[in-house]
Homo-oligomer: A and B are copies of this chain.
Amino acid sequence: MSAAGPMSNAGPMRGGGKVLALCGGVGGAKLALGLASILPPEDLLIVTNTGDDFTHLGLRICPDIDTVTYTLSGLVNPKTGWGREGETWQFKEALSLLGGEDWFSLGDKDLAIHVERSRRLAEGESLSEITAHNAAILGIAPTIVPMSDDSVPTIVETPDGDMDFQHYFVRDRCEPVVTGIRFAGAADASPSPVFAAALEDDNISAIIICPSNPFLSVDPILSLPGVGAGLRAHKAPVVAVSPIVGGIAIKGPTAKMMAELGMDVSALGVAQHYGDLLDGFIIDETDRASASEVAATGVAIDIAQTIMKTKGDRTDLAQVALNFCEKLAS
């Protein structure tokens, strides 16, 4: 589909159908919240990256699921976009005192979700079941599912060897140069049952890839068997929001990684990375001048204010994305 001009984001114009959102952490959760504020809850399915998940201090930690869960339940720390509001750090301090590994900060409140998840996993519950339990008990009406109930850890390749994702991301603050990324065990993993069903669900009329890190948040989802093909074959349009605005990432190491991987650090670079997966691509107003260039890759373009500072920004961007999907489907 060829380039389109910017679309109106005034008011709902949806013709109905369900929406599938693929997301990572903070940026993805913000758009998911915007979608949740517009859509009937039964019409929103949020599939969350689990490539960042890891076991630390014996606890199973799922950063992106928790960021989405905290964001949609209103428990999130609004300043950081992750973790819990009013968090305290007594556990972390006590752990340091005992000589424990304290580079990954676990807040006192946040600990509860990790301890309970670890307990439930040990008792045989699936990550999908646990995520659904937490969402329900926290009053979240839309459906949140992990991309997979299997472990598919993201491995960051660097000149000094392979690194576990959280060692790269948190312990080493994204400082190592990234030469490659892979998703261990992806070939043998399955999409979670609800996600797998969504890939074949004709009632889904829009697929939105949230403005998350393409390499660390979205590619893990796409690495699962059948997902890339399922999205391409789906009748619903696939629309992504660019996480790169004016050549920089809103948050996190996306821009640094793109440069290290030899890619163009721009919305164009992101569009090229997703390639023919996308029917539509939403770029920021800042990048308006590059719209034609991006459209030349063969994707339909919409232009919007994509930086989500306020709750209103989230709703507005969600509406833009829904409207764009609606237009592309018609």
Contacts and interface: CB of A to CB of B under 8 A. Distances in A.
A99 B136 CA distance: 11
The majority secondary structure among interface residues of chain A is helix
A248 B79 CA distance: 54
Contacts of A92: 112
A196 to B, nearest CB: 27
Contact of A100 (B57, B91, B115): B115
B98 A94 contact: no
Q: How big is the A interface, by class?
A: 20 to 34
A261 interface: no
Contacts of A94: 84, 108-113
Nearest to A115: B57
Contacts of A118: 58
Contacts of A57: 115-116, 119
A58 B112 CA distance: 12
A95 interface: yes
A32 to B, nearest CB: 20
Contacts of A115: 57-59, 91, 95, 100
26 contacts: A57-B115, A57-B119, A58-B115, A58-B118, A58-B119, A59-B115, A90-B107, A90-B108, A91-B91, A91-B109, A91-B112, A91-B115, A92-B112, A93-B109, A94-B111, A94-B112, A95-B112, A95-B115, A97-B112, A97-B138, A98-B113, A98-B137, A98-B138, A100-B112, A100-B115, A100-B119
